Structure 1
C-alpha cells in the first residue's frame, strides 16, 4: 500500500461500527461523564455570574458543595480525557485491522484533531468559556505519535505529565483565579462576553492541555488492552481500580471539601497544595469511575434475557452522541445563566444549581434516546466531525 494515500480515498466500508455491535462500557461511561460535567459547571455558575463563591445557605447547600468536591469536581474531566485516548486507540486498531498503514492513520487522526480544534474555538466564541473539545483536538495533533510508542515509554510520558502537568495547572490556575477575583465587573453583553471568552482562551487551552495529557495517555494504554470492551478479561484490574480509584478520590477530596464549605480557612500556599492534591486524586477518581462502569456494563451484558434496560440504553445513546450533548449543555447555559439572557446564575443556591445541571443533563439524555429511536446513528456534531475527517462517502456504483 502506498504511503501517500490522502483524503481522496474513501473511508472503509467497515468504518462505522453498528450500534448493535458497540461495546456498552465506553458509551455508558461517556453518558455518565456528561452528568458530572453538567453538575460541576452548574455548581460553579455563581462565580461566573458574579455572585462570588458558593452560597452555603443551609445544610442542604453545605452538603451539596461537599459532595461535589468529593465526587465530581476535577473527577469528570480525567475520565473524559481517558475515554478520548481510548477512542483514538480504537480507531488505530480498527483501521490497522482493515489494512491501513500507520502514515494513513496518523493523517486521519491529525485531521480529526484539527477539526476538533475548529469546533472548540467556535464553541468558545459562540457559547461557553470552558471548552474542552479544542483541548482534545490539540492533544490529538501533538500526541498522535504516542499511539505508536511502546508501553513502557508511553507510561513514562504519562506519569511525567501527571506530576508536571497537574502542578502547572494548580499553580497557574490559582494565580489566574486570584487575579480574576480582584477584577472589577462591567455591563456584560453577548458580544463583550464572546470577546472575553476568546481573550481568555489562549490561557485556558494550555492549562487544560497540561491537565489532560496524563489521562489521555492512560486511555491509550487501556484501549490497547480493550479494558472497557472486554472487561471479563481484566476483572482483577478493574475491581482494584474501582475500589482504590474511587476511595483515593474521596479521601483526597476531603481537604478541598473542607475549604469549599468554609470549615478550613487555609492560607494561600496551603490552598494551592490542597488543590494540587485534589487534582491528583481526581485522576484516580476518573479511572475508578470508568472501572465501575465497565463492571456494571459487564453485569448488564450478562443478563439472561440479553436486554440492557431503558436506562442503560438511553445512557449509551447519550454516550454515542457525547459531543452533541456536551454542546447542547452549553446552549442551555447560554440561555439560562448570563445577565444578557435569563440571568438566573447568581440567584441559584448550591443545591439548586446542581439540580439545574442534572435537569439539563436529563434533557440531553431524552434527546439522545429520541435520536436513537428515530434511527439516527449519530448526533449532528458527530456527523459533522466524521464528514470533515473522512470526507463525503462514496456514491453507490450505478448498475452497468
Structure 2
C-alpha cells in the first residue's frame, strides 16, 4: 500500500464516519476561530489607529510643556516648570532657522458647549487655537469651506472651523453651516470651514468633535494665564530629524533661560513616538489573543486525541486484517496520521473563515477597519497540521503496534 492509497483509505474512513468527523472538526474550528478571530480584531483595530494617526509622521517633532508633580523611579517629586508661554512659542517659531515648517497651537477646552439658535451640543466639544500652519502640519483636511486667512490669524477674528460631530449636533441635514454664527464662551463665531470626517478607534475621534479658532483669538480666552502652548515642527528631510531636534532643544533652552547643567524645562519628542507606544500596546494585545487561542487549541487537541483513540479501538479488527494482508506498521501509522491531519485541516479552514468574520465584526464594533489576515490564516493552518500530527501520533502508534492475530480476535 503506497502513500496515495493510504490517503485514499484515510479519506474513505473519514467519509464513513461523517458525523464524528464533523463534530471533531468543529472542536478544531472553534480553536482556530478563537485564534484567527482575536488576532484579526487586534490587527483591524491597529490598522484604523495607524490610519487615524497617519499625520504623526517620522518627519515631525513636538515641543510641549513639562508637567509638574510627577514622581521619578526613586519616588521623589520632580521639579515643577512653568508652561510654555505664548511669547516663547512664537519666538521659537520665528527664530528656528532649520529648513522646516512650525505651528503653534493650544487646547482651549475639552468640555465646551456650542450653541446655534435653540440647539446646544453636549459638553464634550474640544476647542483648539491654531495658526496658519496647524491644519497642514496636523494632517487635517477641510472638506468644505476654507482655512484661516492671514488677516484672521493676525487679528484673531471670531471665525471657526467645525468638526463633523459638531455640525451634526447643531445643523439639519439640508442646512449649510458655512457663514452661520455659532456661540461659545459668550462670543459669536462665523463658520468658515467644515473638517473632513476622520472617524477612528471607538467610532469617534476628538478631531470630529473639535472646533478650531485662530490662535490669537484663543489667547484672548486665557483670562487666568493657564494655557499651555504647544509647538510642532515638520522638517523637510526625515533623515535629519535627530539633528533638527537637537537644534530645537538648544534654541528652546535659550528662549526659556535654562541654565547650563540644568535639565530641560520642556519636552521634545518625535510625533511618531505616540504610534510606537500604540504599537507596543497592540503587540501586547496580539500576544494575549495568541495565548487565548493557544489554550483553546490545546483543548481541541486533547479532544481530537480522544476521538482518534476511540477510532483505533473501534477499528482494531480492520487493523488486524490490513496487517494480515501485508500492511506494515509504518503504513498503519501513516494512515491514522493522515486521517488526523485531514480532520484538523477541515476544521482549520472552517475556523479560519469564521475567524475572519468574527474578528472583523469585533473590529467594526470597536471602530476598526476590515482586513483579511493572510498571515494569521497561514499560521492557523500550519498549527492545524502540527496539532493533527501531535494528536494523532499516540493513537496511530498504538494502532501500528497492534498484534495482527490479537486484532483479528477482537470482538
Structure whose alpha-carbon radius of gyration is higher: 2
Between Structure 1 and Structure 2, the one with more helix by share is: 1
Structure ranking higher in strand proportion: 2
TM range (shorter): under 0.3
Per the normalisation by structure 2, the TM-score is: 0.23
Question: What TM-score comes out, normalization by structure 1 length?
Answer: 0.24
